[in-house]
Structure 1
Amino acid sequence: MWLNIRHLLFLILVTTAWAQNSKMLATKQLLARLREAPRGYDPQIRPPAADWEPTEVQVQAYIRDLNVDDVTMTVTYELIFRMMWNDSRLTYNAAQGVDYVTLLDPDLVWLPDAFFRDGAVMQHSSIHPETYIRVFHDTRVLYSTRVTVKAKCSMSLQAFPHDGQECGFSVASYGYTTDDLVLTPSRSDPVQVSKATHLEGYLVDAPAMHSFTSHTSTGEYSDVQVSVRLHRVFAPHLLTCYLPTLLLVLVAWSAFLLPSDSFLPRLLLSLLPLLALVLLAKINQVPTPTIPYVSAHAIFTGAAACVLLLTLLQVVFFGRGGEDAIGKVKDQKVAGGDGVVMVMRGLLRDKAALSRAATITTYIFFLAVYFLAYCA
């Protein structure tokens, strides 16, 4: 039994050493072909294609992390960017077990002239530039690099904080027209987002990639567009702004439940929520760009401020300084409690009740329309 185990371990060691030696030999053979001069491989010439067809380059993006800046309307993507194509000139004798050869110098082979059309790019580098080339035994070539792309995102903040944004970036051929090179999304998982990605304030929807062509004065060029759908998380705004605002309105309305002769408590209950709303808006002010339209957040806060101001005016006008004062003046002018004065005081009380009912009903109707429009 022990003899069989030793034979098995020896066989594994021999197989592993043979595979490593085979990959090393294949790498040396490919490097010799690439560095052969003057009739060797020319990285300035694109790979030949059948019937003079353009070279097809498949594009793939793996998003490791992303960050959204609402103020500057930019999104920063940290991603692994890959391109794959066929180059029939890159052949080598692949022994069994050698699927590909890895090269760390991408300048040795022809590379597509792809560039990020609408973003600033930073190439990552630690000990070496984080880039490699893999040449498979069937002449497929894989280019992979780690970059950070900062791209503009045209955001529409009219529905903020119930909004969702469509952001992304595009990759295009800089010099080769569609007659020579065509960029297409990878046939398998063209865009992936890392599960470890944590984007504060947003949820990332399933990304997508599609190809298109752009026309300029110098020709027609191939492009691919990476799109990422971002949904803003409403829960933080609900807890820090919306619920406190609704509670302040309810506190102000509680002044209507006090007797009309309790003028000072009613005044404080209606005045303090208005001041608290101003302070709350200042504390919870969200950094946003200067926009030429009104956002949903501003509409909600403005409506609450109007309701609190109306509540304060109703307390002042129909309180002791309003309803009772007017009644006393009329009682002094008309001796014996004229019935006309009593009718006028009754009408005044009815106006107060109607005004309060109208304010409460209108605000409840506004809330229903607001949340149906933005949250349904």
Structure 2
Amino acid sequence: MGTGHYFWAIFYFTSLCSASLANNAKINFREKEKKVLDQILGAGKYDARIRPSGINGTDGPAVVRVNIFVRSISKIDDVTMEYSVQLTFREQWTDERLKFDDIQGRLKYLTLTEANRVWMPDLFFSNEKEGHFHNIIMPNVYIRIFPNGSVLYSIRISLTLACPMNLKLYPLDRQICSLRMASYGWTTNDLVFLWKEGDPVQVVKNLHLPRFTLEKFLTDYCNSKTNTGEYSCLKVDLLFKREFSYYLIQIYIPCCMLVIVSWVSFWLDQGAVPARVSLGVTTLLTMATQTSGINASLPPVSYTKAIDVWTGVCLTFVFGALLEFALVNYASRSDMHKENMKKKRRDLEQASLDAASDLLDTDSNATFAMKPLVRHPGDPLALEKLRQCEVHMQPPKRPSCCKTWLSKFPTRSKRIDVISRITFPLVFALFNLVYWSTYLFREEEDEVPLAFV
């Protein structure tokens, strides 16, 4: 066997020995991690019922720093006034009793999955309605203990939280939904919650909500005082802006179309009674159904919302178009009655003229008295002629443009239709101008969510 073969055999044997030593070192390293856990959490050495000491081992309150990561916001419900959120919740504090030797930096931290092994802050979500942990495939929770005694607790949870809303500007509103966290039993003399310095709240980048946009979020403190003492509290205010495009397409444009369709009745003939009645009733029922559907998706609040003003005015316009036809129908029958009366009067005058002519023909041979050449001042014929002269002497009155234009339509019913064709669109346009200028450019009122203690 040559020298080269000896060299490769020695190299191979050395590699096997190195790998075996490395595996033994890893095994020993894991064994040391177990020994450290037994050392700091062994029976009679650590009591999870006792809170940690204050800063630098003092007897002051334990300080717990909190930060959260918002993973998703699944829904914001206007009817129940609540929202659902999934987040990763983290707490970090220092427990001097959990210090250990990091074996020259090789042991960075210890990991636990049982929260009852160490002392935990008694934090709870004060405006929570429902909540649950995530246990698929394993419980989504861990505890890390660092060599200096720092403890990091992280868990993934889903919460349904109360969100009191002010819907006066709905659907042009903004809502503030809060996430409140407080200590349940430890007062500020024993436990203080603080936001983690730097970036205490993170939000997933691709957060998408169907009808809202998360504009911004603010962190603050909300300590509460009760009969049993003062308790530390943290809160996050999430500012949501409602997406208006959905309501523009689903509510505002259809309502405008219904109002405009109701105006078609003004252009139909006055005698088309079935067509005008069916058009008015159909648009009125459709508008009422639209209003009922909108109100069904909202809570029954005691104040007037912006959408109530819109639907109420649109319903009034549709109802006004139906009443306009009733007025036109009444005016049309009145015009027909007047026309019949005029016709009867003309027939009577014609009959009287025919009778007078017959009388003149029969008395053509009678003698007539001589008429005087000069009439007395009290003579009725003289007074009538005097009045006619005075009328001709007066300057003629100049008719107005509106009267001249309306004189083209001899009947009152036709005039009502023509006036409605102009008045209804003008008034509706004026309402739109006032409505949108009021609600679009109105500054949002400061809405402070209700406090939950």
TM bucket normalised to smaller: 0.7 to 0.9
Aligned mate of 1:278, from 288, 293, 317: 288
For the pair 1:188 / 2:194, whether they are aligned, the reply is no
Letter in 2 for 1:325: R
2:372 maps to: none
2:120 is the alignment partner of 1:111: yes
Query: After superposition, where does 1:104-183 map in structure 2 within 5 Å?
Result: 104-119=113-128, 120-183=130-193
Partner of 1:208: 218
1:273-296 deviation per Cα after TM superposition (whole angstroms, max 9, x unaligned): 223223434556642222112222
1:234 and 2:241 equivalent? no
Taking the aligned partners of 1:285 and 1:192, their CA distance within structure 2 comes to: 36
CA distance change for structure 1 residues 284 and 15 in 2, over 3 Å: closer, same or farther? farther
Amino acid in the other structure paired with 2:282: L
> Shift of residue 332 of structure 1?
1.9
* 1:333 lines up with 2:341 in the alignment: yes
Q: Which residue of 2 aligns with 1:360?
A: 425
Over 3 Å counting, the alpha-carbon distance change for 1:17 and 1:366 in structure 2 is farther
Q: Following TM superposition, by how much is the alpha carbon of 1:263 offset from its aligned partner in structure 2, in angstroms?
A: 5.0
CA distance in 1 between counterparts of 2:292 and 2:237 reads 35
Q: Give per-residue Cα distances to partners, 1:275-322, cap 9 Å, x unaligned.
A: 32234345566422221122222221111110011112213322xx23
AA matched with 2:299:
P
Q: What SS does structure 2 have at the residue aligned with 1:177?
A: coil
Query: CA 1:115 to 1:19, structure 2 compared with 1: closer, same or farther past 3 Å?
Result: farther
Match of 2:232 among 218, 222, 232: 222
Measured after TM superposition, the shift of residue 171 of structure 1 is 1.0
Q: Is the 8 A contact 1:184 1:210 kept in 2?
A: no
Cα distance change, pair 316–60 in 1 and its aligned pair in 2 (3 A): same
**Selected match of 2:52 from 47, 51, 56:** 47
1:88 aligns with 2:96: yes
| SS of alignment partner, residue 339 of structure 2 | helix
| AA aligned opposite 1:65 | S
Stretch moving more, 253-262 or 153-162: 253-262
CA contact (8 A) 2:266 2:417 kept: no
Structure 2 partner of 1:74: 82
SS in 2 for 1:76: strand
Instruction: Quote the Cα distance in structure 2 between the aligned partners of 1:82 and 1:17.
Output: 35
- Tell me: CA distance 1:29–1:226, structure 2 relative to 1, closer, same or farther (3 Å): farther
Q: Which residue pairs with 1:373 in the alignment?
A: 438
Structure 1 residues 203 and 220: CA distance shift in structure 2, 3 A: same
1:35 aligns with 2:41: yes
Q: How far apart, in 1, do the equivalents of 2:28 and 2:313 lie?
A: 75
Following TM superposition, by how much is the alpha carbon of 1:268 offset from its aligned partner in structure 2, in angstroms?
4.2
Shift in Å at residue 353 of structure 1? 4.2
1:183 CA drift (Å):
0.5
What's the counterpart of residue 304 of structure 1?
314
1:80 counterpart SS class? strand
- Residues 209, 308 of structure 1: CA spacing in aligned structure 2 closer, same or farther, 3 A cutoff? same
The letter for the 2-side match of 1:172 is A
Change (3 A) 1:20 1:71: farther
SS of the counterpart of 2:97? coil
Assess, with a 3 A threshold, how the Cα gap between structure 1 residues 314 and 17 changes in structure 2: closer, same or farther: farther
Q: Normalising to structure 1: TM-score of the pair?
A: 0.84
Cα 1:261–1:17 shift into 2, 3 Å: farther
Q: Which residue of 2 aligns with 1:244?
A: 254
Percent of aligned pairs with the same amino acid: 30
Match of 2:305 in 1: 295
- Name the SS of the counterpart of 1:65 in structure 2: strand
Q: Is the 8 A contact 1:27 1:102 kept in 2?
A: no
Following superposition, the deviation at residue 182 of structure 1 comes to 0.9
Q: 1:286/1:190 Cα in 2 relative to 1: closer, same or farther (>3 Å)?
A: farther
Check the 8 A contact 2:187/2:229 in 1, yes or no: yes
Count of aligned residue pairs for this structure pair = 362
- Partner of 2:223: helix, strand, or coil? strand
Counterpart of 2:177 in 1: which secondary structure? strand
Counterpart code for 2:172: H
- Equivalents in 2 of 1:138, 1:128: separation in Å? 28
Deviation at 1:264, TM superposition (A): 4.7
Q: CA separation in 2, counterparts of 1:174 and 1:19?
A: 46
**2 CA distance for matches of 1:364 and 1:15?**
88
In the alignment, the residues of structure 1 paired with residue 298 and residue 21 of structure 2 have an alpha-carbon distance, to the nearest angstrom, of 62
Deviates more, 1:261-270 or 1:271-280: 261-270
Moved more, 185-194 or 283-292: 283-292
In 2 relative to 1, CA 16–60 (structure 1 residues): closer, same or farther, beyond 3 Å?
farther
Gaps of 5+ in 1: none
Residue type of the alignment partner of 2:36: L
d(CA) in 2 for partners of 1:107, 1:344: 91
- Partners of 2:166 and 2:154 lie apart in 1 by 34
On the 8 A contact 2:335/2:412 being kept in 1, the answer is no
Does the residue aligned with 2:65 lie in a helix, a strand or coil?
strand
Bigger Cα displacement from structure 2, 93-102 vs 153-162:
93-102
Q: Which amino acid aligns with 2:429?
A: I
Q: How many Å apart are 1:223 and its aligned residue?
A: 0.4
Deviations 1:95-154 (Å, cap 9, x if unpaired)?
Answer: 435432211112222211211222143233235432210122333211011222222111
Paired position in structure 2 for 1:24 = 30
